[in-house]
Structure 1
Amino acid sequence: MFRLPFVVIVLFVSSPLTLCLNQDGHFLQQVKGSLSDPTHSLSDWNDCDDTPCNWTGIACDPVTLRVTSISLSSLQLAGPFPIFLCRLPSLIFLSLPDNSIGSSLTPDISSCQSLQYLDLAENLLVGPIPDTLSQIPNLWHLNLSSNNFSGGIPASFGEFRRLERLNLASNFINGSIPTSLGNISSLKELSLAYNPLLQSPLPSELGNLTSLELIWFQACDLVGQIPASIGLLSRLTKLDLSMNRLRGSIPSSITGLKSIVQIELYENSLSGVLPSGMSNLTKLLRLDVSVNHITGTIPEDLCGLPLECFNLNENGLEGSLPESITRSANLYELQLFNNKLNGSLPSQLGKNSPLRILDLSYNGFSGDIPSHLCDIGALEDLILIANSFSGKIPESLGNCQSLSRVRFKHNELSGTVPERLWGLPHVYLLELEENSLSGDVSTMISGAHNLSQLKISNNRFSGLIPEEIGSLGNLIEFSGSNNMLTGQIPGSLVKLSELGKLDLSDNELSGEIPVGIQAWKKLNDLNLANNRLYGEIPSEIGGLQVLNYLDLSGNQFSGKIPLELQNLKLSLLNLSNNRLSGSLPPVYNHENYRSSFVGNPGLCGDLPDLCPGIGRSKKRAWVLGLVFGLAAIVLVVGVVWFYWKYRTSKKNKEGIAMSKWRLFHKLSFSEIEILDCLREDNVIGNGASGKVYKVVLSNGDVVAVKKLWGGTKKEYGTVDSEKDEFKTEVETLERIRHKNIVRLWCCYETGDFKLLVYEYMPNGSLGDILRSGNGGLLDWPTRYKIALDAAEGLSYLHHDCVPPIVHRDVKSNNILLDGEFRARVADFGVAKALVTVSKGEEAMSVIAGSCGYIAPEYAYTLRVNEKSDIYSFGVVILELVTGRLPTDPEFGERDLVKWVCTRLDRRGVDHVIDSNLDSKYKAEIGKVLDIGLMCAATLPINRPSMRKVVKLLQKAVAENKTKKAKRDGMLSPYYYEEDSEQRVGEEEIAADEEEMEREISA
């Protein structure tokens, strides 16, 4: 009688523990099964729970326990859109951004009838946008940005009744903007930026959207005029129509935008004048109408606005700057560079405004520089390049402690520089070139602790260079050519270990070159030409490993040319017109260097007429006899020494090789052969950290050997403080196997030096070819294949390595080319494994990378992730398309990315593409150019992943491949290379081809 109740009680108590997962949970299990989850983020989605309410990314109604919200952003989820989610009857919030959701959205998406919020941004969705989305009755937020959607914007979108935010930016949407969008009276934000809308005009019906607060139509290929109806949007706070092809004048109705905070109309073809009545825009903080064809003057009523940033750069504005601009009490940034403005600046400019940035470069301004620019003490950047300013530099600027950049190049300024201006503590760039300034360089310059660039060339400065300049530890460039400086080169200059350029040519300097210049380890350019310097040329110059330009011509140097100069890899050498004597160093004793040595009567070599004069042949014979005699002695001594050295060192090398070499592949050569071939005549590259040798082995194989100096060389901006270059390179490459990553055969390490032995790439680096003037050797198909190969290599690093690897120094010099111009990504000395996958980025102790390639956010924050590599790769694509360097004096303040954007707008794609490329590939080149600009987007969120970049590059030529296939009667398969260490099965190839064919047809 006791057992039965006990059993009943036990069953009753235990029944809750055996309840099944509810229906919503079963639907989510089906969703999980349809997706790839490489990071196991959905591991807690299991059927042991009764509800899914505590699962990752899931939120439920507290009463009904039905799923109401799903948020699974940035989890690397892959697969088709999980339509099973639409079976969740209470789901109102669905957010899946920054994943790899692929395929297309089917019309069934409309079955998600309860949805109010849908975010599928930054995925791999393709095909048309379903026109059934408007059938979801309560949807107020729709974000499909940064996908691969194509086709037009559905006209049915005009049927939305509660939609407030519509973001379709960064897709491949074409066609025109449907006028039906003007029917969405509830719309507050409309973003269509970065879509090829095929020369779409702006519909005037947009003026019906009276609730609109944001319009973002940047880079949409818009044409026509800005409709006057835009002025009806009284709630609009941001209007961005930049980087399009809009023409005509700015409508005067724009002054009706009562709530506007920011207007961006730059890089269009707008003309006419700035409309009057801008004083009505009382909330305006930013106005950018740069890179247009605006004419006339700046309206005086505009100058009374509380502007935060006023930018009208690179226009065709004419007329003077009105005095009333000084009434802007909150004006802190005024940029009017690259215009045709003229006249004098208002004398009260800056007196009542906290000016922080003033850039009036490349105009026709004249007269004095106003003395009140820094009255409030906030001025940081004062840039007046290429105008006609005259008179003295105001004394008041010497008291402006906030200044960081002063650029007065190419004006007509005269008189002395205010003494305190030389020593301002925060100035890092002082550029006074190409004026008529006079007087001394003040000893107060010792206070300019932050100064990195001092440019005073082409003036009338005189007197001594002060010894105090040697205290500027951050100085990278000192250009003082074409002045009247006298006295000796101060010995304190040798303390400047960061110095990269020293140009004191065309002055009246005398004395000898200071002792201790071997401290200039980073010196790239040394120009002391046309002075009165004397003495011998110091042999220490030969130890400046990165020196590229050396000009000591037009002085009184005497004695012999140091043989150590042969250690340099110089692009320019000029020792002409001195008093040098003796023989030429063997490296320079040939016709190519004749002009480098002329005008030295006592200097002889094998070059005819180099040292004309009577008795030359006798002197030469005597010298030759002496040389041969000495050579005989050296030969005998050398043979004896070599035999002894060979016997004693062979055993040492064999022992070292056995213990120090690390092999990563099966080798067909002896490691000892490598050591025997590291001779100067085999050097093919030279840098601050070591040399690179081409080594031809006895079996005919060729390898490249990088020899690094011993210890950890932490050169500026190249090596992390945590690891040295050698260790990072080895740890990275020893675990990588990919056809587009350079192979590391083996490595060797001692206390004296370290060796890295790679596969040899006979065509060198992409950068070398593009910069050597041989870019014509690379036709477009070859350049395209190089871009695709490099993209696949970087995609492997970002997506297939565990943990992912960020290269951190992607540039054309680090893309090597084999005998068939197939590309390999190389140089992993500063690579970084992202071990903090959850954060996706790490903080670095120093900036790694090269000028022109560094992503904007990396340079400022030192936060690194794969988006930094993607920006750098975008610059490489632009190099391939344009054939230009990432930085060039022709670009001025801009880099290649900004130069391309500006030139595209002004002159079109024909004036951007490298002239060496065949015009029949113009369509393909244009598509690849667009991909490069996407990669080099200012905001990291707008850059595609490397996996997406590979697909975009493949699709860039897919259309032409399909046309050719139709002509040939078959669809040619994509080309797959098979690697012995990474083979692709036939089934995988077939599946990839099928997927590609679907994408092409879509």
Structure 2
Amino acid sequence: MLLLPHSLLLFVFLFFLSPPSSHSLSQDGLILQQAKLTLSDPSNTLSGWTTSSTTPTPCSWTGVSCDPATDRVVSLNLSNANLFGPFPTILCRLPHLSYLSLSNNSINSTLPPLLATCRNLTHLILSENLLVGTLPTFLHTLPVLSYLDLSGNNFSGHIPPEFALFPNLHVLSLTSNLLTGTVPGFLGDVATLTQLNLSYNPFDQGEIPPQIGKLVNLEVLWMAGCNLIGEIPGDLFGLKKIIDFDLSMNSLTGRIPAEITNLEDVVQIELFQNGFSGELPLGWSKLKKLRRFDASLNQLEGLIPDELCRLPLESLNLFNNRFVGGLPESIASSPNLNELRLFDNQLKGVIPKDLGKNSPLKWVELSFNEFSGEIPAGLCEKGALEELILLNNSFSGGIPVGLGQCRSLTRLRLSDNRLSGDVPAGIWGLPFVYFLDLVGNSFTGRVSESISGATNLSGLLISKNRFEGRIPDEIGLVGKLVEFSASDNLLEGPIPGTLVKLIQLGRLDLHNNKLSGEFPIGIEAWKKLNELNLATNELSGEISPQLGSLPALNYLDLSGNQFTGKIPLELQNLKLNKFNLSDNRLSGDLPPLYDKEIYRDSFLNNPGLCGDLPDLCPRKDRSKNSGSVWLLRSIFVLAGVVFIVGVVWFYWKYLKYKKAKEGTEKLKWTLTSFHKLGFSEYEILDCLDEDNVIGTGGSGKVYKAVLSNGDAVAVKKLWVGGLKKDECNDIEKGGSSDGGFEAEVETLGKIRHKNIVKLWCCCTTRDSKLLVYEYMPNGSLGDLLHSSKGGLLDWPMRHKIAIDAAEGLSYLHHDCVPPIVHRDVKSNNILLDGEFGARVADFGVAKVVDVVGKGPKSMSVIAGSCGYIAPEYAYTLRVNEKSDIYSFGVVILELVTGKRPIDPEYGEKDLVKWVCTTLDQKGPDHVIDPKLDSCYKEDICRVLNIGLLCTSPLPINRPSMRKVVKLLQEVIAENNSKSGKKDGKLSPYYHDDVSDHGSVA
């Protein structure tokens, strides 16, 4: 008993001497630290969440706010913190937490039921994450929840009926998820709602539920992109407190109801991209607070109401309709107007002369109408104008001098009007303009030296005018210039040497002028130049060999000049889609790469230019050859006699040989195996019967051979004497039968990959060659996809086939040393086993890529099949992996559309062009194979984007095959993360501008 006080004193002494422990932190701090352990924090946002002897509470930590009286955590805002992991339910142990925001992170999985224990939450903001599953049915049990934001996730399924039971909810935001079903009417029972945001979900097609009209406190109704149809129910116009009324991007029809003018507190009305028709209603004068009205992309007609233009609008968007008549004068009196977009209508007359004098105009776009008269002088009176776009009208007169002093301008597009006169000098040097388009007018004068002040200019388009004089040297100071088009003018003098300073230049088009002189020195700096057109000028001297060092150049037209000398051999380094050197004074031999018939039209009318192409060089005088005509005829007659005698002799020898061959043929076969075999060549030969033919291709017939052990193999018997032409009459697979046989044996004999068809062995005699493969019971993808059995291939099966084939090609491109280019990738060369697993087959024209440093190898003829050949390959005959990637992109498009690569339906287009055109004009629903289940639409669109990227016109924009595999697998991975659902959230890749084609929106 006497020792106890001493022990207690010792414990207290050691406690105060010891360093502070985590136990000195408040309970709320400990909970936050445990929450931190459940999350991945690669950006170290939560690195300051540590114990400190001076701050025992977490109130100073990042994102944490406390009640100053109690130091208890009441708010946690970790938006944009780059956090990963499941929802940290331990946060619900914070007894006073009322505000929680984890917006714009990577919170994944489903929301756990334990979230219902956060009883004091008033604000729950989980937008822009990776949450999946159905919407939780327990959220309505949070008694004081007033703000719920789950937008930008991957929630799927219907909105549950329990969402009608929220007792105190003011804001409900479910935008940009994967919700289905129709918009439910029971949401009208949440009487406390002031905001209802349901936009951008793939709801089933349905009408606007009239019960929404019961939400008398509603201020924001945002239902854009909800697949709504029918007319707007009149019940909605009883929402007297509505401020933002947005029903855009649906399929609503009928007239815009006159009752819309009863929404007297409305500030913004968004009705664009629907199917509204008829005239706009009257009564707009009642909407004193209306600032933005957008009814563009409809079928509205008639006049633009004067009373609408008299409102103090800030934005008026009525483009892509059928409005007629003129623009009301009253629009010029609007004191707040900053946006006026009326393009693509049938408006005419003159623009109100005072437009811009009373309002801070920023964006004016009146293109594709029938406006006439002069451009108003005061458009930039308030000094705010940024974009003035007046394309395709009938404006006349000159450009107002005031626009040359409008330093706020960023885009000025006046093409295809009737404008004339000199361009004000100030226009050329506007410091913030990045796009200046004056094409198709009658402008005169010179390009001003003040162009040097246009430091942000990236596009200068002045073609089809009457500009004259020299191109000023100062243009070399416009360092951001990407496109310079000045064709069809009267420009003269040399090409400025300063142009070579424009290292961002991608397109230079100066054709049809009076330019003279030689190529400027230093053009090798144009590393990004894609198009160079100097045709129809008076340029002279030799063609610069430096052109051959421009890696991105694929359009070169130097025709119609006075160039002399030889064609530089360096031009063979280019990958050209357009190539024209005609109508010059060139001489000498053609470079070997271009000494082919397909380039014939590129060299016409060069008197001294020679090559092996017939009639390219001038014919010799017939009189000089008349003496040899008789001799030539005699030689031909003698040759004919010898030929006939030779044929008769050959046929006699053949009959003798055939007779001697009978009975001994099997003994002369040579078998070369690449795997351990359970059969002999004689079993194979016995099956080469016409009844066993299962296919005929460009290189031979394919037989099914059933062996004595019951197994089956496929036998390809190559054509004797060469390869046949494939379905494109003008495209040959190239090489001889020997070459195709050797390529296939050399390639497949050493390849071991699950997605490359297995070559068991080859059998050869002096005049026959057989290749024995593993048998694919389901034939080729092309035959199955484009036959009546195409419906057997559902989307998961097609997606798996795409991945299998991509992995096979990726192996060829990245894992073989040296890499192998298939050169004939198509759906008919992708075979399917009994489980519909895919194998890449037919390597008869495969080529090994040259070692690094020697560049892609040129072929003597085009290899491939119609509709699959990359555009640059048809011109350059250069072999590289990008050609295979283009062809594989076509296969992806076949899988998505169910259509053939070429079809009379496309007219002069192929599948790639048809898909791009149809996407632009009608959208993805008109591209996707109707046999596919619509529940896979999101995934199909993602794979369609990959196909469009692979078929980019520029090879440099196509991904590697390894990247293609990864992209295709990412879609599968996202499906797995969504517990078997068929849709997923787009990865950042899909939000990029993937290709020149654009992407599926």
**TM (normalized to structure 1)?**
0.61
- Most deviating of 465-474 and 598-607: 465-474
- Most deviating of 289-298 and 586-595: 289-298
1:396 is matched with 402
User: What's the secondary structure of 1:366's corresponding residue?
Assistant: strand
2:463 is matched with 457
Alignment map for 1:723-762 (pairs within 5 Å): 762=820
Distance of 2:895 and 2:507 partners within structure 1 = 29
Task: Find out whether 1:573 has 2:579 as its counterpart.
Answer: yes
Alignment map for 1:283-432 (pairs within 5 Å): 283-432=289-438
Alignment map for 1:25-424 (pairs within 5 Å): 28=31, 35=38, 37=40, 90-98=96-104, 103-105=109-111, 110=116, 112-424=118-430
Q: Write the letter of the residue equivalent to 2:374.
A: D
User: 1:24 Cα deviation (Å)?
Assistant: 6.9
User: 1:595 Cα deviation (Å)?
Assistant: 0.6
Distance of 2:832 and 2:979 partners within structure 1 = 12
Distance of 2:524 and 2:606 partners within structure 1 = 26
Q: Write the letter of the residue equivalent to 1:180.
A: F
Deviations 1:52-91 (A, max 9, x none): 8678877776777876556565677777656666666655
User: What's the secondary structure of 1:534's corresponding residue?
Assistant: strand
Q: Write the letter of the residue equivalent to 2:590.
A: L
The answer to whether the 8 A contact 2:249-2:272 is kept is: yes
User: 1:371 Cα deviation (Å)?
Assistant: 2.2
Distance of 2:281 and 2:449 partners within structure 1 = 51
- Most deviating of 52-61 and 606-615: 52-61
Deviations 1:746-769 (A, max 9, x none): xxxxxxxxxx9997664699xx99
User: What's the secondary structure of 2:162's corresponding residue?
Assistant: helix
Task: Find out whether 1:537 has 2:547 as its counterpart.
Answer: no
2:692 is matched with none
Deviations 1:379-405 (A, max 9, x none): 222111122223333333333333332
- 1:178 and 1:550, CA in 2 relative to 1: closer, same or farther beyond 3 A? closer
Q: Write the letter of the residue equivalent to 1:565.
A: L
2:485 is matched with 479
Task: Find out whether 1:927 has 2:938 as its counterpart.
Answer: yes
Distance of 1:924 and 1:616 partners within structure 2 = 73
Distance of 1:438 and 1:775 partners within structure 2 = 55
Alignment map for 1:662-811 (pairs within 5 Å): 762=820
Alignment map for 1:513-662 (pairs within 5 Å): 513-614=519-620
The answer to whether the 8 A contact 1:550-1:573 is kept is: yes
- 1:880 and 1:405, CA in 2 relative to 1: closer, same or farther beyond 3 A? farther
Give 5+ residue unaligned stretches, structure 2: 626-745, 753-805, 839-863, 865-890, 900-913, 947-966, 984-1001
User: 1:927 Cα deviation (Å)?
Assistant: 2.2
- 1:157 and 1:568, CA in 2 relative to 1: closer, same or farther beyond 3 A? closer
2:922 is matched with 907
Q: Write the letter of the residue equivalent to 1:928.
A: D
Alignment match of 1:503 (pick from 500, 503, 509):
509
Distance of 1:879 and 1:373 partners within structure 2 = 51
- 1:247 and 1:777, CA in 2 relative to 1: closer, same or farther beyond 3 A? farther
Distance of 2:402 and 2:22 partners within structure 1 = 82
User: What's the secondary structure of 2:307's corresponding residue?
Assistant: helix
- 1:311 and 1:758, CA in 2 relative to 1: closer, same or farther beyond 3 A? farther
The answer to whether the 8 A contact 1:27-1:84 is kept is: no
Distance of 2:52 and 2:86 partners within structure 1 = 23
Distance of 1:780 and 1:193 partners within structure 2 = 42
User: What's the secondary structure of 1:157's corresponding residue?
Assistant: helix
User: 1:473 Cα deviation (Å)?
Assistant: 3.7
Deviations 1:875-923 (A, max 9, x none): x999996999xxxxxxxxxxxxxx999987973534355xxxx542363
The answer to whether the 8 A contact 1:263-1:288 is kept is: yes
1:942 is matched with none
User: 1:13 Cα deviation (Å)?
Assistant: 8.6
The answer to whether the 8 A contact 1:93-1:118 is kept is: yes
Distance of 1:473 and 1:29 partners within structure 2 = 52
The answer to whether the 8 A contact 2:39-2:86 is kept is: no
- Most deviating of 471-480 and 187-196: 471-480
User: What's the secondary structure of 1:295's corresponding residue?
Assistant: strand
The answer to whether the 8 A contact 1:558-1:581 is kept is: yes
Deviations 1:656-676 (A, max 9, x none): xxxxxxxxxxxxxxxxxxxxx
User: 1:226 Cα deviation (Å)?
Assistant: 2.3
Deviations 1:830-881 (A, max 9, x none): xxxxxxxxxxxxxxxxxxxxxxxxxxxxxxxxxxxxxxxxxxxxxx999996
- 1:429 and 1:213, CA in 2 relative to 1: closer, same or farther beyond 3 A? same
- Most deviating of 49-58 and 904-913: 49-58
Deviations 1:641-662 (A, max 9, x none): xxxxxxxxxxxxxxxxxxxxxx
Give 5+ residue unaligned stretches, structure 1: 620-695, 703-738, 746-755, 787-818, 820-875, 885-898, 936-944, 962-1002
- Most deviating of 361-370 and 103-112: 103-112
Q: Write the letter of the residue equivalent to 2:241.
A: R
Distance of 1:956 and 1:934 partners within structure 2 = 21
- Matched length: 715
1:632 is matched with none
- 1:583 and 1:63, CA in 2 relative to 1: closer, same or farther beyond 3 A? closer
Task: Find out whether 1:438 has 2:444 as its counterpart.
Answer: yes
- Most deviating of 91-100 and 205-214: 91-100
Distance of 1:76 and 1:333 partners within structure 2 = 36
- 1:462 and 1:242, CA in 2 relative to 1: closer, same or farther beyond 3 A? same
User: 1:600 Cα deviation (Å)?
Assistant: 1.3
Distance of 2:22 and 2:614 partners within structure 1 = 102
> How much identity, in percent, do the aligned residues show?
49
Distance of 1:9 and 1:246 partners within structure 2 = 82
2:843 is matched with none
User: 1:325 Cα deviation (Å)?
Assistant: 0.5
- 1:922 and 1:434, CA in 2 relative to 1: closer, same or farther beyond 3 A? farther
Distance of 2:432 and 2:347 partners within structure 1 = 30
User: 1:188 Cα deviation (Å)?
Assistant: 1.8
User: 1:611 Cα deviation (Å)?
Assistant: 0.7
Distance of 2:837 and 2:616 partners within structure 1 = 49
- 1:148 and 1:392, CA in 2 relative to 1: closer, same or farther beyond 3 A? closer
Deviations 1:549-580 (A, max 9, x none): 22111222222222232232322221111222
- 1:64 and 1:927, CA in 2 relative to 1: closer, same or farther beyond 3 A? same
Deviations 1:278-298 (A, max 9, x none): 343333333322222222222
User: What's the secondary structure of 2:467's corresponding residue?
Assistant: strand
Distance of 2:894 and 2:448 partners within structure 1 = 43
User: 1:597 Cα deviation (Å)?
Assistant: 0.7
Distance of 2:582 and 2:931 partners within structure 1 = 48
Distance of 2:331 and 2:282 partners within structure 1 = 14
- 1:45 and 1:396, CA in 2 relative to 1: closer, same or farther beyond 3 A? closer
Q: Write the letter of the residue equivalent to 1:590.
A: K
User: 1:275 Cα deviation (Å)?
Assistant: 3.3
**TM (normalized to structure 2)?**
0.61
User: 1:96 Cα deviation (Å)?
Assistant: 4.5
Distance of 2:420 and 2:510 partners within structure 1 = 21
User: 1:227 Cα deviation (Å)?
Assistant: 2.7
User: What's the secondary structure of 1:317's corresponding residue?
Assistant: strand
- 1:924 and 1:56, CA in 2 relative to 1: closer, same or farther beyond 3 A? same
User: 1:346 Cα deviation (Å)?
Assistant: 1.4
Distance of 2:68 and 2:454 partners within structure 1 = 64
User: What's the secondary structure of 1:180's corresponding residue?
Assistant: helix
Distance of 2:582 and 2:22 partners within structure 1 = 95
